[in-house]
Amino acid sequence: MIVGCGRTGSSVAKKLAGAGWDVTCVDEDETALGRLGDWRGGFVVGHGMELEVLERAGIANADAAVIATDGDNSNVVIGQVVQRRYQPISVVVRVLDPRRAEFYAERGLQTVCPTKTAIATLVDAVQASTAEPVGSSG
Amino acid sequence: MYAIVAGGGKVGANVTRSLVRMGHEVTLIEQRRDRFEQLESELGPTVFLGDATEIHVLEAAGIARPPSIVLAVTGDDEDNIVISQIAKEGYGVQKAIARVNDPRNQTHFDLLGITQTVCATSGLLGLVEHEMPEHGLVKLLELRTEGLEVVELHVHGDAPAAGKRVAGIALPEGAKLVSVMRNGVGEIVREDTVIRPGDQVVAVLKPGVEEKLRRAVVGA
């Protein structure tokens, strides 16, 4: 089950479906279905905070859930609800704010923080360039 | 006492005004700039601009002191859950009270350990039910954490309990009749108290047996 069918959610859905997973996406906006292209998986229109929506998406029998809506707080709340109510499936939650990602990771939620990855990649890219830092003598 | 109030809407602003008037130290966090400026012109440095779900904002507001109480009263339930969790689990705040905007989210607050909540819709609905006794059962008090409820039952002429002694009413397991209100006078019920039409009976029960209790006392 993928909650939040934006750029990230829809791409994860397509990749997993391509790898043989049976995938259902949940999004408040029905036009999000368009991001999935020629989609044979499930699609449920609704908000991930509603248990009825999660259940229609088949959460009770899901092996894994990816929570990637555009709201960090919605993601950590939905992720925790899914983890506690429907365990033992694996739950991965996207959290853009590095500090909230760390806070919830310390509490047992599997979080992925794209901002942290971007920061590290950008710093590495600059460091790897041949230019010397301004002011360095050498 | 030091208090942090998250969310400067009508609820947060008025609670802040009252706490300040009572002589407490308060920081009110509001994220919308226009609303912040409006509140700041009235309340001065008590008001802080920022997103209260960002840890650095809470830290700047003094979450690490920690405050005696945090009130998470924004218009967004997910935000209120996150603020309460950060306060309690991250900074050892002893008391966090959260506002529930959508009563359907109450189960999420309960599941995630946010035991003290306030929901205007549920409160209002309780009052409406109290004005419509044909529903038969009104919740008076819900001790969610303790697993107990107090309800009031309105007995009609054709109710199963009407005319019966308390000992003769087949009550479900986990429910007990406590008192009866008759002609404006309340009395503690005994085994031999006879329930009469027009009585308002108060009962204590475990959650989940309301419907069985209602059927046993007031009928379908």
For the record, the structure tokens of A48 come out as: 């991930």
In this complex, do A49 and B77 lie within 8 Å of one another by their Cβ atoms? yes
In this complex, do B54 and A97 lie within 8 Å of one another by their Cβ atoms? yes
Are both B100 and B151 inside the same structural domain? Answer: no
Instruction: Give the residue from B76, B94, B120 where a domain finishes.
Output: B120
Are both B183 and B208 inside the same structural domain? Answer: yes
In this complex, do A103 and B86 lie within 8 Å of one another by their Cβ atoms? yes
Cβ atoms of B135 and B129 closer than 8 Å? yes
CA angle (B210 as vertex; B205, B212 as ends), nearest 5: 110
Residue B196: which pLDDT band, with cuts at 50, 70 and 90? very high
| pLDDT reported for residue A56 | 97
What is the rounded distance in angstroms from the CA atom of residue B58 to the CA atom of residue B50?
Answer: 9
Are both B137 and B183 inside the same structural domain? Answer: yes
Where do the domains of chain A lie? 2-128
Q: Is residue A137 predicted with pLDDT exceeding 70?
A: no
Query: Which structural domain range is residue B110 located in?
Result: 2-120
Are both B27 and B110 inside the same structural domain? Answer: yes
For the record, the structure tokens of B139 come out as: 């919740």
| pLDDT reported for residue A89 | 75
Are both B96 and B154 inside the same structural domain? Answer: no
**Looking at this protein, which amino acid is placed at residue B162?**
A
Q: Is the confidence metric ipTM above 0.85 for this complex?
A: yes
Q: What CATH number should be reported for the domain holding residue B166? A: 3.30.70.1450
| Mean pLDDT on A7-36 | 96
A2-128: which CATH topology? Rossmann fold (3.40.50)
In a domain, B195, yes or no: yes
| Mean pLDDT on A20-38 | 96
| pLDDT reported for residue A132 | 72
pLDDT digits 0-9 by tens, B106-144: 999 999 999 899 998 888 877 777 776 557 888 888 887
Smallest Cβ–Cβ distance between A99 and the set B56, B81, B111 belongs to: B56
Give the closest residue to B9 by CA, choosing from B45, B56, B47, B62. Answer: B47
In this complex, do B111 and A71 lie within 8 Å of one another by their Cβ atoms? no
pLDDT digits 0-9 by tens, A78-129: 999 999 999 767 999 999 999 999 999 999 999 999 999 999 999 999 998 8
Q: Distances in Å between the alpha carbon of B206 and those of B145, B146, B151, B173?
A: 11, 9, 11, 9
pLDDT digits 0-9 by tens, B59-118: 999 999 999 999 999 999 999 999 999 999 999 999 999 999 999 999 999 999 998 999
Query: Interface of chain A against chain B, CB under 8 Å?
Result: 49-51, 71-74, 76-77, 80-81, 84-85, 97, 99-100, 103, 107
Q: Is residue A136 predicted with pLDDT exceeding 70?
A: no
Cβ atoms of B101 and B77 closer than 8 Å? yes
By DSSP bridging, strand A2-3 and strand B117-118 are: unpaired
Are both B17 and B108 inside the same structural domain? Answer: yes
Question: Is the Cβ of B42 closer than 8 Å to some Cβ of chain A?
Answer: no
CA dihedral B59, B6, A106, A101 (to 10 degrees): -90
Classify the C-alpha dihedral A111-A112-A114-A116 as positive or negative: positive
- What's the pTM? 0.79
Are both B33 and B82 inside the same structural domain? Answer: yes
Are both B139 and B210 inside the same structural domain? Answer: yes
CA dihedral A116, A122, A123, A129 (to 10 degrees): 160
pLDDT digits 0-9 by tens, B169-188: 999 999 999 999 988 899 99
Q: Distances in Å between the alpha carbon of B68 and those of B4, B59, B115, B131, B158?
A: 9, 15, 16, 37, 52
Q: Is residue A138 predicted with pLDDT exceeding 70?
A: no
| Mean pLDDT on B43-71 | 97
Residues in chain A with CB shorter than 8 Å from the CB of B110 are none
For the record, the structure tokens of B162 come out as: 């009407």
In this complex, do A99 and B54 lie within 8 Å of one another by their Cβ atoms? yes
In this complex, do A84 and B79 lie within 8 Å of one another by their Cβ atoms? no
In a domain, B169, yes or no: yes
